[in-house]
């Protein structure tokens, strides 16, 4: 995905909700018992090597009763359709069919802005005969009327309301509907804060519109303000903790270099993976250690 930070992805939310909205033609039915398995990008990079093409994480859907074969969904998000390459997506899907040993792949492209001229079909061949055809499902959010989805029980749909087509004078109402859906459908506080950030970014309210929202929806506005503030406070606290860990790591690394010389990549990596308690123990061990190995002995 280009132009949208991963933490602010339109496909955030439950995989079932995301597929139900972005790929309803192929998505599992609400009553289907399925398992969703994200394919880790690191594994793909390792297996596909130089042919690796980093798109959004592919999602494998397995039907638990076995009545349907598993489907691999490939969701790509584009903020600017002019940067979208159908050939690149086709290459990637072919790589995945080989990696997962399946022909059941559903490519889905989510266009965040107007994408009237975006190609969704690629045909290779001659005037005599086509020899290869590649199609993808295209979800063009700006062509979807927001009023049709304002009361949806699908979380992914609700948080994407600001990305849909809506009259300019209804910006605040659409924003409020997105926030109301978030509060009703997402119980996790951390996720609420993250999705609220996503809604804020794409709603693009002016300061006057924000004041209007707070006047018209005081309870929701106060609830979301509290959630966002708590998330910021926790983030700052986490940042302070991580800062102290990093400081302890740097100090210990300097001590080790001074006592034992250049450190091997394995030792540097070990320091990078260490907890605060481990770093403190090792720092104490440096004082009496005769060798580098002594530093990492629990009883030193």
Distance of CA 214 to the CA centre of its chain: 29
Q: pLDDT of 165-216, one tens digit each?
A: 999 999 999 999 999 999 999 998 888 888 888 898 889 889 899 899 999 9
Q: pLDDT of 27-57, one tens digit each?
A: 999 999 999 988 766 566 666 665 656 667 7
* β-pairing verdict for 71-78 and 59-63: antiparallel
Higher pLDDT, 85 or 56: 85
Higher pLDDT, 12 or 67: 67
Of 8-17, 72-81, 133-142, 286-295, least confident by mean pLDDT is 8-17
Q: What Cα–Cα distance (Å) separates residue 269 from each residue in 238, 262, 264, 274, 282?
A: 22, 14, 9, 9, 15
Task: Please answer whether residues 59 and 15 qualify as being in contact, where contact means their C-beta atoms are separated by less than 8 angstroms.
Answer: yes
């Amino acid at each position: 995905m280009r132009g949208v930070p991963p933490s602010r992805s339109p496909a955030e939310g439950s995989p079932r909700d995301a597929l139900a909205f972005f790929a309803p033609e192929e998505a599992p039915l609400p009553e289907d018992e399925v398992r969703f398995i994200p394919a880790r990008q690191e594994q793909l990079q390792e297996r596909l090597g130089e042919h690796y093409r980093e798109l959004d994480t592919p999602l494998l859907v397995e039907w638990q009763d076995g009545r349907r074969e598993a489907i691999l969904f490939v969701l790509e998000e584009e903020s600017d359709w002019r940067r979208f390459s159908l050939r690149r997506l086709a290459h990637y899907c072919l790589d995945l069919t080989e990696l997962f040993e399946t022909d059941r792949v559903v490519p889905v492209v989510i266009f965040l802005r107007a994408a009237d001229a975006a190609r969704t079909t690629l045909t290779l061949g001659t005037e005599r005969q086509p020899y290869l055809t590649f199609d993808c499902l295209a979800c063009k959010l700006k062509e979807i009327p927001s009023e049709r989805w304002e009361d949806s029980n699908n979380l992914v749909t609700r948080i994407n309301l600001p990305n849909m087509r809506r009259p300019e004078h209804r910006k605040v109402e659409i924003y409020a509907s997105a926030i109301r859906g978030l509060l009703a459908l997402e119980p996790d506080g951390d996720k609420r804060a993250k999705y609220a950030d996503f809604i804020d970014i794409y709603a693009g309210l002016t300061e006057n519109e924000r004041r209007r929202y707070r006047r018209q929806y005081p309870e929701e506005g106060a609830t979301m303000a509290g959630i966002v503030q708590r998330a910021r406070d926790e983030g700052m606290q986490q940042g302070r903790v991580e800062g102290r860990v990093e400081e302890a790591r740097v100090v210990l690394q300097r001590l080790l270099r001074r006592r034992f010389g250049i450190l091997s990549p394995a030792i540097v990596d070990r320091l990078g993976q260490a907890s605060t308690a481990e770093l403190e123990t090792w720092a104490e061990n440096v004082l009496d250690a005769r060798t580098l190995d002594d530093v990492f002995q629990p009883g030193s």
